[in-house]
Amino acid sequence: MDPLQIVIVAVIAAAALFAVLAPRLRSHRLRARFGPEYDRTVLVHEGDVRAAEHDLTDRLALRRRVKTVPVEAADRDRYLAELRGLQALFVEDPRQSAVRTARLLDSLLTDMGYPGEGRPEVLSVDHAARLPAYRDARRALDNPGADSEELRCSVIAVRDLIVELLHEERTGALARH
């Protein structure tokens, strides 16, 4: 074989290797980025990995288009104070505490610039680990027969997402009160 033929064979072999490995690398990156949300999305798409990965890739593109803004320090303090009050309310009225905590999250997301439509999908890009609990929380709120434990889990899930969005460490201001 002359050097040109060797180069051509090497280029073809590299292209074939890339064609085989690229989808696996993409799947690996998406699985690492989305965690349990990756598996959930595959289930939603009835096992169609290609459709699920297309959905997740669309979410990444949507998230890049959504311009969010951080919360000012005074607003952050206000959100945390309100959250503490809602946690205290849980003892007296678990459902009201859960409903108002969810509304507080909605208000925070609006203030930060998250779109009203497709919020869970946009949130899944940056907060995938919190999404399963967030979805469970929303289901509990939609269930008029939810018991105190379900509502407690709802408040905790929403609280944790609020704290994460505010970039507050779990051992920070909220946990001290």
> Is residue 88 domain-shared with residue 148, that is, in the same domain?
yes
Distance CA 175, CA 122 (A): 27
**Higher model confidence: residue 17 or residue 107?**
107
- In angstroms and rounded to an integer, the radius of gyration of the C-alpha atoms of the chain is 22
Domain that holds residue 9: 3-65
Tokens of 152: 């407690």
Predicted local confidence at residue 169, as pLDDT: 40
> Is residue 102 domain-shared with residue 52, that is, in the same domain?
no
147 pLDDT higher than 70? yes
> Is residue 27 domain-shared with residue 46, that is, in the same domain?
yes
pTM of the full structure: 0.76
Distance CA 94, CA 154 (A): 10
Instruction: Examine the fold and report which residue of 16, 48, 65 is the final residue of a domain before the chain moves on.
Output: 65
Averaged over 168-176, what is the pLDDT? 41
**Higher model confidence: residue 117 or residue 13?**
117
Q: In degrees rounded to 5, what are phi and psi of residue 84?
A: -60, -45
56 pLDDT higher than 70? yes
End-to-end CA distance of the chain: 76
Closest CA to 139 of 154, 152, 124, 125: 154
Helix (H) or strand (E) holding 159: helix 148-165
> Is residue 29 domain-shared with residue 105, that is, in the same domain?
no
> Is residue 20 domain-shared with residue 37, that is, in the same domain?
yes
Distance CA 35, CA 4 (A): 45
> Is residue 25 domain-shared with residue 89, that is, in the same domain?
no
Instruction: Examine the fold and report which residue of 65, 85, 114 is the final residue of a domain before the chain moves on.
Output: 65
Count of structural domains within the chain: 2
> Is residue 59 domain-shared with residue 36, that is, in the same domain?
yes
Segment 18-41, tens digit of pLDDT? 666 556 667 889 999 999 999 999
Share of the chain above pLDDT 70, in %: 87
> Is residue 148 domain-shared with residue 99, that is, in the same domain?
yes
Segment 60-86, tens digit of pLDDT? 999 999 998 999 999 999 999 999 999
Q: What is the DSSP letter of 127?
A: -
> Is residue 92 domain-shared with residue 139, that is, in the same domain?
yes
Predicted local confidence at residue 19, as pLDDT: 64
Instruction: Examine the fold and report which residue of 47, 65, 83 is the final residue of a domain before the chain moves on.
Output: 65
Q: Which of 39-48, 123-132, 165-174 has the highest mean pLDDT?
A: 39-48
